[in-house]
Structure formats: C-alpha cells, structure tokens
Amino acid sequence: MTDMADLPVQLPALPASAAAARARFFNSGNAFNIKLPPVPAADFAAIAAAALAPGAPTGVLLCDQSDAIGCAFPATSPLLLARYAVIRAGETLTLDTSSTGLIGYVLRGTGTTLDFAWGPGDVFLLPGGAQRLTARDHTVLWLVGNDPMLAFEALRENPATIAPVHYPAAEIERQLALIGACTTNPGTSGLAVIFSSDGLEAWRNITPSLTLSLNTLPPGEHQRAHRHNSAAITLVLQGEHCHSMIAGTPRPWSLGNTLVTPPGDPHSHHNAGPVQARFLIVQDGGLHYHARTMGFEFLESAPH
C-alpha cells in the first residue's frame, strides 16, 4: 500500500473547464516538506564601504543575497531588502521602490524631500513608490523596505498573476478517497487534502502566501497536539461532538462556525462523535514557508 507522502501531485480526473484543469492536489503527507535554502548569516561590509567611499557616485547599492536564498527578486532576507542610497551634494536621487514603505537612517549628509529636511542620525519613514531625495551635501542613507514581500505576492508587477481555479466537490471526494486508501507515517499531520494550482505547484499553496487544506478526522479519534507559527482560520463543515483544544481551552465545534487558532498556540482537534469530521483551514502558511519561520512541531508522540 502506498504511503501518502509518496504520492505525486494529483491532477483532476475529468476537468470540465480551464479553471478546473488548473487544480492541483497534495495531501498532509507530502505538502509540507518543501525544501528551501536557509537564510545565511551575512554581512555587506564591501557594499557599505563602497557607499561610504568619499567619491561614491549618486545611486543605490543593494544588500542582495537573492541567489543564496533562491529568490527571483532582490532580497536581503525573504521579506526585506536593505540598500544604501548615495546622493552627491546638489544632486537628486529618484527612488521608485516596490515597497509599502521605506525605513531610513541618515549615515551622513543633509538634504530634503518634499516633506522634511534630514541630517546625520535622523530616522525617517517614506512611503513606497516614487520619492525624490535632494542632497545639500554629500549624503549616505541606509534604507530598508518590504520589497521582497510584495514581489513574492506579485502585487506590484502583475496583480492578475493568479488565474481562477475550480475544485469541484466530486473531485475533492475523489482526492479524499485516494489518500484514504494510503498508509501514513509518524510525520504525517492528519488526513487532509491540500489545494494548489498549476501556477503554484512547486510551492503547494493556493496563493503565494496562503495555504488551504480540507482536514478530516475519523470518529473517536483526535489529531495530536501540535503548534505552528501561522495563524489558522477554520470552517467547520461536518462532525458531531467535536472540539478543538487551543492553548488548554476547549473550543466546541458547531456546523458552519469559524474558529481562530492564534499563531504559536498548542492545539489539537477531537472527534467524539459517530461520523467523520471535516474542517477547512486557511493559513498564512505560504508566507511562513517563504520566510523559513513555520516552526511546525508535534507536542505529543505518534500512536503506536
């Protein structure tokens, strides 16, 4: 019998539309073992020295280690990008960043934006997008923004990247039957179908930052206690006499109810009823996988 973790990505059997054909399915045995390069400890002394050199020209020097962490866009860490901005006396630098905002520190020099004047030791916040910075004397700024986070979601470059995807109920039942016929191993987190698409198959997520799973729990069983750094929003679809234990507090289920599991809280799910429990879970898991901060761990041993 096949272990769930060994199943390849599953495609719909008879897609009735282009949206249905985009559907991809993983499971709770193989969806969470994405291997990404770790974020290396690094320093950018050479970049800093170049920025602080007396004759440095006006421009921006990135603290970029995207190659080391496998990002397709400049990044110092998966969610942050640092850079030095050099502005020679009397010159203007136009920044156009794909970030929500820029945190700045003035290493040397004085100058102005449209809103204020800066001097050595000042800290400031600028909105992302186009900004004009004019130096009165030779200026070096240290700037950090969340450009990689927006690039990760493709929010600035191409908001239409996510195509519609359809997961018909009959196909979902087929996927549940498929994994139900498989074995599991001690590292498997329950029995769940994980939803993805052709465009995000390598990430096994439904959007770059969000994960979606349909979890099941047989009668009389519980999903062992665990924790993770993503928040979980749960919709109760099916079950009788079910509850979750979240940080030591029982949370009874009711059909159609929405439950929140805070990030980091120990939790488990329990089915004391006679029918299979089903619950749909959305997490900001994709963002944590990308940031290498998911921190999933079981808090009790697997049953023998």
Question: Quick check: 149 and 143 in contact, CB under 8 A?
Answer: no
Helix (H/G/I), strand (E/B), else coil: 74: coil
What percentage of the chain has pLDDT greater than the value 70? 96
* Residue 266: CATH number of its domain: 2.60.120.10
What's the rounded mean pLDDT across residues 40-48? 89
Domain boundary among 145, 173, 198: 145
Q: How far is CA 300 from the centre of its chain?
A: 26
Does residue 114 have a pLDDT over 90?
no
Same domain (yes/no): 108, 24: no
Domain boundary among 102, 118, 145: 145
Please check whether residue 303 lies inside any domain of the structure. no
What's the rounded mean pLDDT across residues 102-113? 92
| Average pLDDT over the chain, rounded to an integer | 89
Query: What's residue 158's pLDDT?
Result: 46
Distance CA 12, CA 56 (A): 57
Same domain (yes/no): 50, 22: no
Same domain (yes/no): 287, 169: yes
254-265, pLDDT tens digit by residue? Answer: 998 988 899 999
Please check whether residue 101 lies inside any domain of the structure. yes
Query: What's residue 257's pLDDT?
Result: 93
Does residue 244 have a pLDDT over 90?
yes
164-192, pLDDT tens digit by residue? Answer: 798 988 999 999 999 989 888 877 777 89
Same domain (yes/no): 114, 56: yes
Largest CA distance in the chain: 77
Does residue 161 have a pLDDT over 70?
no
Question: Model confidence at 16, in pLDDT bands (50, 70, 90)?
Answer: very high
Question: Model confidence at 86, in pLDDT bands (50, 70, 90)?
Answer: very high
Does residue 304 have a pLDDT over 80?
no
What's the rounded mean pLDDT across residues 278-286? 90
Query: What's residue 162's pLDDT?
Result: 66
Same domain (yes/no): 199, 218: yes
Does residue 210 have a pLDDT over 90?
no
Question: Quick check: 193 and 176 in contact, CB under 8 A?
Answer: yes
Please check whether residue 282 lies inside any domain of the structure. yes
* Residue 113: CATH number of its domain: 2.60.120.1030
Query: What's residue 271's pLDDT?
Result: 96
Same domain (yes/no): 56, 109: yes
**Full residue range of the structural domain in which residue 218 is found:** 4-37+163-298
Out of 21-25, 32-36, 122-126, 249-253, which region has the weakest mean confidence (pLDDT)? Answer: 32-36
218 backbone dihedrals φ, ψ, rounded to 5°: -65, 160
Does residue 112 have a pLDDT over 90?
yes
Please check whether residue 150 lies inside any domain of the structure. no
pTM (2 d.p.):
0.79
Question: Model confidence at 220, in pLDDT bands (50, 70, 90)?
Answer: very high
What percentage of the chain has pLDDT greater than the value 90? 56
Query: What's residue 120's pLDDT?
Result: 94
What's the rounded mean pLDDT across residues 106-129? 90
Question: Token pair 């969000």 is at which residue?
Answer: 210
Same domain (yes/no): 100, 177: no
Terminal Cα distance for the chain, rounded:
18
Please check whether residue 12 lies inside any domain of the structure. yes
Query: What's residue 160's pLDDT?
Result: 44
Please check whether residue 157 lies inside any domain of the structure. no
> Which residue in 50, 297, 5 sits closest to 179, CA to CA?
5
Please check whether residue 49 lies inside any domain of the structure. yes
Q: In what order do the strands lie in the sheet with 23-27?
A: 23-27, 191-197, 211-217, 277-283, 232-238, 258-261
